[in-house]
């Protein structure tokens, strides 16, 4: 396996994990603002 092949598998996984983390943090802040407005 070359580094290029490994990158093809690793990069999408890292991007997906980063997207999930950012989405979770974003939803947390979103719900915090919604709860505070009430």
pLDDT in tens, 11-36: 999 999 999 999 999 999 999 998 88
pLDDT of residue 37: 79
d(CA 13, CA 25): 18
Residue 4 scores a pLDDT above 90: yes
Task: Tell if the pTM clears 0.95, that is, is over it.
Answer: no
d(CA 9, CA 3): 10
Residue 1 scores a pLDDT above 90: no
Structure tokens at 6: 């490994």
Long-range contacts made by residues 14-19, C-beta under 8 angstroms, separation at least 24?
Answer: none
């Amino acid at each position: 396996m070359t580094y290029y092949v490994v990158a093809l598998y690793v990069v999408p996984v890292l991007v997906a994990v980063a997207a999930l983390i950012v989405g979770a943090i974003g939803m947390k802040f979103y719900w915090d603002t919604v709860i505070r407005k009430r």
